[in-house]
Amino acid sequence: MVTERRTGHLAALLTIFIWGTTFISTKILLKNFQPVEILFFRFIMGYLILLIAYPHSIKRLSQKQEMTFAAAGFCGVCLYYLLENVALTYTMASNVGVIISVAPFITAILAHLFMPDKTGHTVKSEERLRINFFIGFIVAMAGIILISFNGSQLKVNPVGDILAFAAAFVWACYSILTKRIGSFGLPVILTTRRTFFYGILFMIPTLFLFDFQLDLPRFMDTKNLLNILYLGIGASALCFVTWNYAVKVLGAVRTSIYIYMVPVITVITSMLVLKETVTFFSITGTILTVVGLFLSEYNRRAKK
């Protein structure tokens, strides 16, 4: 059991490390692709990779289970990314980064409300809210704000910020749905592929709204091909499997706390790859974010 939890933590860390670096690939691809095109191509590729890796199918799902998969695909694959990308067209990326980082807090609230134990009366022990979680959340958010704004002036755009908050809420819903799917006792690769299927299905109508172009010759450019492979194989096929596994093992709340690390990884990656300057604000923010993560986990670790 302890080994399984450690594996869960490593899976969450791997997922967040890759997700924290995907902004570079996305930024490069946005020169030749629309956001919805990037999403569609990466998840189609992710679905095919998972199909090749584990060419089996799920049998005998109840209607309730099927609806849970459909809801997870709609929330985690389709709606979350669309809301996030549209939010970026209205407000600063720093605003979106900070607001999205509220997802662990929303996840904790939803878990407290909608994830009872077998008796139906009390919240599962791994999802209970403790004072350490709230203290860690406040410290981590302070760090994330310093990292994201880096001393610059906050510019508020109600439309963009509301869409970003909606994205955080949708991801929290996805985390709860993923935890429920984990209780079905099915292989994680199969459940992830099923979620991708519904996500792509819900994504198709949006292709017409955002003037989707197939234009496959764009992938003849090595830079485009390598970056879409990174997003499709790494950030989609691999990371959704590892994230869903972590949620299954650790719980929705504990896993979601790792989202705090995304801005930290972004800062480090920007320094190493894009040669961006590291400032006092980014260093202080990184330290606060890591401290916040450990504070949120401290009470849990103390009781193990």
pLDDT tens-digit profile of 178-237?
989 988 999 999 999 999 999 999 999 989 888 889 899 999 999 999 999 999 999 999
Residue type, 199: G
pLDDT (tens, 9 = 90+) of the chain, 304 residues, equals 678 888 999 999 999 999 888 877 887 888 888 888 999 999 999 999 999 999 998 888 899 999 999 999 999 999 998 888 788 777 766 667 777 878 888 888 888 777 655 444 444 545 556 777 788 888 888 887 777 666 555 555 678 778 888 998 999 999 999 989 988 999 999 999 999 999 999 999 989 888 889 899 999 999 999 999 999 999 999 999 999 999 989 888 888 888 878 777 877 776 777 666 667 777 787 788 778 877 776 554 444 4
151 Ramachandran zone, left/alpha/beta (phi>0; psi -120 to 50)? left
* β-strand partners of 123: 116
Task: Supply 140's token pair.
Answer: 């981590």
- The pLDDT value recorded for residue 303 is 46
Nearest CA among 107, 112, 104 for reference residue 129: 112
CB 207 within 8 A of CB 38: no
Task: Supply 2's token pair.
Answer: 């302890």
31/223 Cα distance (integer angstroms): 11
Identify the three-state secondary structure at position 130.
coil
What is the domain partition of the chain in residue ranges?
2-137+153-261
Task: Give CA separation, 8 vs 5, 14, 113, 141, 247, in Å.
Answer: 5, 10, 24, 24, 8
- The pLDDT value recorded for residue 13 is 93
- The pLDDT value recorded for residue 229 is 95
106/63 Cα distance (integer angstroms): 27
pTM of the model: 0.81
- The pLDDT value recorded for residue 148 is 66
Mean pLDDT for the chain overall: 82
- The pLDDT value recorded for residue 116 is 57
Identify the three-state secondary structure at position 151.
coil
- The pLDDT value recorded for residue 52 is 95
Number of neighbouring beta carbons within 10 Å of residue 60: 5
